Amino acid sequence: MKQQKRSGGKEGPSKSHSDIRRKASDGDAVVMTAMEFKEFVRSNGVEKAAREVDLVTTATFGAMCSSGAYFNVGHSDPPIKMQRAWLDGVPAYAGLAAVDIFLGATELDETNNMLHGGAHVIEDLVRGKAVRLRATAHGTDCYPLREIDTYVSLKTMNQAVLMSPRNAYQNYVAATNSSAKTLYTYMGKLLPEFGNATYSCAGELSPLLNDPYYRTIGIGSRIFLGGGDGFVVWEGTQFNPGVARTPRGVPKRPSGSLAVIGDLKQMTGDFVKGLTFTRYGASLGIGIGVPIPIIDEDMANACSITNDKIVTGLFDYAQQRRSRPCLRDVTYEELSSGEIEVEGKTVPTSPLSSIYKARQIAEILKKRILKGEFEVTEPVQRLPMDRPLRPLEVRSEKEAMQ
Amino acid sequence: MKTKLVLNFNPEASNRPITHDLIAKHGLLVNILRAEIDEVGGKMVIEVSGKAESIKNGIDYLKDSGVGVRPIKEGVRRDDDACIHCGVCISICPTNALTLDRKTRKVVFIEEKCVACGVCIDACPPRAMEILI
C-alpha cells in the first residue's frame, strides 16, 4: 500500500481552530454552506475566502448500510437476561449484558420479508412509533424470566443511540451492468446492456471530499447526524486513505469513512429513513453534516473543489467478483449531467444520494451555528493516513497469524 | 384528444381482436401500456388518441364486446412525503416522466408522461411510488 502524506497548512496566513470556535460561540463567525463557499471562491478567489470565511458546512444524505443503533430497554420484573431479541420481527443482537441490544440497519425481518429490516425499525422509532419487542432467555438465578413480549418506544427506552461503523464514505464507485439481465443491487436497479448507471456520493458537498487529508475532521468532531447532534468517534470501517488521488489530493475511489454516534431521540424522520433495495434488502438513509473550519488557504482551496474535479470509477456489476474491471473514470459533473458515455453508448445516470437533502442539511447546520445552537469542536485525534485495506481470503490458522 | 383506459376482459372477449378493431374500425391510435392475461381473463392498459366521438364509439364498442372499461386519470402515484429526491428512478423511467430538476435537485414527476409501466415501483428505495391499476 502506498502511504499517503498529508499536505496543506503551509500557505498564507492561518487562523487557529480555537479562534474560529471562539468566533462561532460569540456569534461572529462567517459561515457559508459548501454551495455558497464554492461560489464565493469563484468570484473572489481562494486568498480572500481564506481570510474572510470561518466555517463551511458540508453535507451528505444517502443509503449507508453499515449503520445501526443500540438500546437499553430497561429491566423487567422479574428480570430477564435477553439471549435473543426481535424488534418488530427483526432480530437484534442481545449478547450484551441483560437488556442492551443492538439493531443493525441491514438485518432483515425473519418472516423473509426483504422489504422490512432494521433500518425501517430505526425510522419507525425516530418517528415516535412503538415497536414490538420480543425476547427469550435461558433464565438464571439472577435473571429468572425466560420470555417477554411487549412494546417499546423512544419514550420508554433509557438509551437509544445511533452507532454506525461506516458512514459518510469519502467517494464511492459508480455502477453499471453489461449483462443481458436486470441486476438488483445495493447500487439500485441496473438495467441490462448498459441501460443505466448509478452513483452514490454527494460529490462537491460531501464532507470528506472537502477535507481530503482529514486536516479538520477527526475523532471528536461534532456533526449533524440524522437531524440531531452527533460525533465522529473513530475512523470508519474499510478506511482506505491510500487509494489513488487527483492532483488536488481528492481520492479517486472509495477511501476514508467515518464511524459516528448520536442520540436517536434527537433525530427526525426527515433525515433517518428506512430504505429498501429490491432483492438486496434494507439500508438506512442518513443525513450527515460536518462544519469545516477554514484554518488556512489550503483548507479554503480544498473546500473550493467542484464536481468537475472529483473523479470516481465506473464498474461493471455484471462481474460478480471482488475485483471488478473499471470501465472508465468519470467526474461527478458528468454523472450529474444525466448521461455518460460507456463503450460508445449514451447511458442515463441516476444518483442514489439526495443532493436536495444534502443542501437542506448544509443550510440547517449553517443556521444552527449562526444561532449558537451547534458548538463547533476541534478533533481530539486525527484520522489515520496509513491504513491498508485487507481482503478476506480462505486461510489456514497459521496463515491468519502471519 | 387522448385518454388512458383500463380494460378487463373474460376469456371469451380475450379471443376477439379488440385492439385491431379500435384501430381499423374506429380510427383510433392505440398504445398498449400494459397487458396481462391468465386463466380467468386479461387486463390491458391502453392509451387511445383520436377524435372525441371516435373514442366514445370505441368505448361503446368495447362495452358491447363484454370488455370492462375504466378511464384512468392516474396510473402511478408518488407519496411526496416519502420521496427523498435521490433520483434512482430517473434513469430507469422509459418515458422521462421522472426527471431531476437541475436547479432544485428535486425529482419531478410529470404524470402526463407516465405510461404506468411500473418499473419505478420496486426501484424506489423509500417505496414512494405506488401503482394504482
The grid coordinates of residue B98 equal 421522472
What pLDDT does residue A1 have? 43
ipTM of the complex: 0.92
Using an 8 Å Cβ cutoff, are B42 and B9 in contact?
yes
What pLDDT does residue A128 have? 98
What pLDDT does residue A259 have? 98
3-state secondary structure of B63: helix
- End-to-end Cα spacing for chain B: 22
Any chain A CB within 8 A of the CB of B106?
yes
Burial of B130 (0-12, 13-18, 19+ CB in 10 A): middle
Question: What pLDDT, in 10s, does the model give residues B32-52?
Answer: 888 888 877 888 888 899 999
Residue B29 confidence (pLDDT) above 80: yes
Top pLDDT among B7 and A382 is at A382
Nearest CA in chain B to A270: B84
**Interatomic CA distance for residues B37 and B95, integer angstroms:** 24
Active site (catalytic) residues of A:
142
Half-sphere exposure of A386 (CA within 13 A, CB side): 2
In this prediction, residues B50-72 reach a mean pLDDT of: 89
What pLDDT does residue A187 have? 97
List of long-range contacts for A26-31, beta carbons under 8 Å, 24+ apart: A27/A370, A27/A372, A29/A54, A29/A55, A29/A369, A29/A370, A30/A54, A30/A55, A31/A55, A31/A56, A31/A57, A31/A291, A31/A366, A31/A369, A31/A370
What pLDDT does residue B13 have? 72
**Interatomic CA distance for residues A239 and B46, integer angstroms:** 52
Any chain A CB within 8 A of the CB of B87?
yes
Fill in the DSSP letter of residue B90. Answer: G
Q: Minimal Cα–Cα distance from B45 to chain A, Å?
A: 23
Q: Minimal Cα–Cα distance from A281 to chain B, Å?
A: 10
What does the mean pLDDT of chain B come to? Answer: 89
- Compare CB distances from A351 to B87, B119, B126 and report the shortest one's residue: B87
- Compare CB distances from B91 to A283, A285, A349 and report the shortest one's residue: A349
What pLDDT does residue A30 have? 97
This prediction has a pTM of 0.92
Top pLDDT among B133 and A199 is at A199
- Which residue do the cell numbers 409501466 mark? B117
What pLDDT does residue A9 have? 55
In this prediction, residues B8-20 reach a mean pLDDT of: 80
- The dihedrals phi and psi of A362, each to the nearest 5 degrees, come to -60, -40
Q: Taking chain A (402 residues) in consecutive chunks of 10 residues, what is each chunk's mean pLDDT?
A: 56 81 93 98 98 98 97 98 98 98 97 91 98 98 98 98 98 97 96 97 98 98 98 98 97 98 98 97 98 97 98 96 93 97 97 98 98 96 96 96 92
What pLDDT does residue B19 have? 86
**Interatomic CA distance for residues A331 and A347, integer angstroms:** 14
Q: Which residues 6+ apart lie within 8 Å of A395 measured at CB? A: none
Contact A198 B122 (CB under 8 A): no
E strands, A42-146, are: 55-64, 68-72, 84-87, 90-96, 100-104, 131-136
Work out how many CB contacts closer than 8 A connect A with B. 72
Any chain A CB within 8 A of the CB of B79?
no
- Which residue do the cell numbers 391499476 mark? B133
Fill in the DSSP letter of residue A29. Answer: -
The distance from CA B93 to its chain's CA centroid, rounded to whole angstroms, is 14
Using an 8 Å Cβ cutoff, are A385 and A95 in contact?
no
Residues in chain B closer than 8 A to A275 (CB atoms): 125-126
3-state secondary structure of A177: coil
In this prediction, residues B56-70 reach a mean pLDDT of: 90
Any chain A CB within 8 A of the CB of B91?
yes
**Interatomic CA distance for residues A28 and A20, integer angstroms:** 9
Top pLDDT among B117 and A81 is at A81
